[in-house]
Amino acid sequence: MRCGVLRADRVVVNKARREMLLLRGESVLRSYRVAIGREPVGHKEREGDGRTPEGRYVIDRRNPKSRYHLSLRISYPNEADRARAQELGVKPGGDIMIHGLKDGLPREDDWTQGCIAVTDEEMDEIWSLVAEGTPIVINP
């Protein structure tokens, strides 16, 4: 971490607004426009549904060798997600990330399989501001 840079103590994603906020206390450190899953409405229910999960999770892993520049893994599925998928008789899916672009190519639409995407430059900044263990809330 760079000297003097405050790290975020939580991340909030508002899917309907296509925004991600990095917060420290009540202060917004950074705000980003994001792309989300190709099926943007609703909570992720199953592997391959193209939806971004909704709920409370945590950043649980960092991947410096991501195919999408850099990535931070979101702890989906949680216990409730696994139980819901089991009731439906489906796999919940997983490997939901905050990541950069594939091959550095920007896109205007919602294009991910359920992840949250930003530009590679933004991902560099997020990487330096968000540690493992940081809570993330994903709102509809």
Catalytic residues: 99, 115
**Angle CA(72)–CA(113)–CA(77) in degrees, nearest 5?**
60
Contact 136, 12 (CB under 8 A): yes
Other CB atoms closer than 10 Å to residue 62's CB: what's the count?
Answer: 14
Half-sphere exposure of 120 (CA within 13 A, CB side): 11
Chain centroid, CA 49 distance in Å: 16
Q: Are the C-beta atoms of residues 2 and 105 closer than 8 Å to each other?
A: no
| Cα angle: 2, vertex 22, 73; to 5 degrees | 85
